[in-house]
Amino acid sequence: MNETLIVYGTRYGATPEACAVIQKILEKDYKIQVEIWDLENYRACPDLEEFDNIILASGIENGKWTKNSEKFLTKDLTGKKVAVFISSSFAGEKELYNHAFKNFLEDVISEYSEVNFVAKAAFGGRVPKKKLPKIASQALLTRLPEFQIDNRDWDKIKEWAHEIGKIFTAD
Ligand SMILES: Cc1cc2nc3c(=O)[nH]c(=O)nc-3n(C[C@H](O)[C@H](O)[C@H](O)COP(=O)(O)O)c2cc1C
């Protein structure tokens, strides 16, 4: 059995697009069976017993994961390889990457020392056009010379999928 469950929390749909790219690579290049689940529907989430590997992903808003993606970390993940990533516009900007990685990712998962995190990543994000004024007013962003509405780096996401594929298929 080498089955992987990808679970994600999203507010605006950017995170599942990254999940879909990762899913494709795992299935095609590593022959891993992948199921994908939107944590909006938390209660009906598939039984974790069936999966060796989990990929947990969340979009970030005002520095926070979605409620259900953070809640997912409280599940019993014993014996599983867990990879985690965030979709965060700050992480897509060179000047703010370290801030995003530490504050939005490491600080959150560090509270779950019993979980076997085998890989972690902070990717850029995509802001819906109509929400741009809201995020652009955040103090950290006003310092940037130019802020891209979609600063996801697909090569970086694909590279990470291969990294995970190797980890998930290793003995
Ligand atoms: C109101 C608002 C607040 C946001 N706050 C942050 C933030 O604090 N840090 C960050 O990195 N990105 C922030 N973002 C950008 C999102 O992280 C980015 O759009 C992400 O890709 C969203 O993922 P989702 O579409 O899956 O929800 C914000 C976006 C909006 C619309």
Helix (H) or strand (E) holding 14: helix 14-30
C-beta 59 within 6 A of ligand 1 = yes
Residue closest by Cα to atom 3 of ligand 1: 61
Helix (H) or strand (E) holding 132: helix 132-136
User: What's at 52, amino acid-wise?
Assistant: D
What gap in Å lies between CA 46 and CA 104, rounded to an integer?
A: 26
80-126 tens-digit pLDDT: 999 999 999 999 999 899 999 999 999 999 999 999 999 999 999 99
7-38 tens-digit pLDDT: 999 999 999 999 999 999 999 999 999 999 99
CA of 167 to the centre of ligand 1 (A): 29
Measured from the Cα of 9, ligand 1's closest atom is: 26
Instruction: Give strand pairing partners of 82.
Output: 54, 117
Q: What is the mean pLDDT of residues 133-145?
A: 73
Do residues 9 and 65 touch, judged by C-beta distance below 8 A?
Answer: yes
Closest Cα partner for 91 from 150, 12, 16? 150
Q: What is the mean pLDDT of residues 29-54?
A: 96
Question: Whose structure tokens read 């993940």?
Answer: 77
CA of 142 to the centre of ligand 1 (A): 15
Q: So what's the pLDDT on residue 2?
A: 72
Let me know the angle formed at the C-alpha of 123 by 120 and 128, rounded to the nearest 5 degrees.
140
C-beta 131 within 6 A of ligand 1 = yes
C-beta 12 within 6 A of ligand 1 = yes
What gap in Å lies between CA 96 and CA 142, rounded to an integer?
A: 12
- Give the homologous superfamily in CATH for domain 3-169: Flavodoxin domain (3.40.50.360)
CA of 170 to the centre of ligand 1 (A): 34
C-beta 135 within 6 A of ligand 1 = yes
Q: Give me the sign of the Cα torsion angle 95, 101, 107, 110.
A: negative
What gap in Å lies between CA 58 and CA 43, rounded to an integer?
A: 17
User: What's at 17, amino acid-wise?
Assistant: E
CA of 54 to the centre of ligand 1 (A): 23
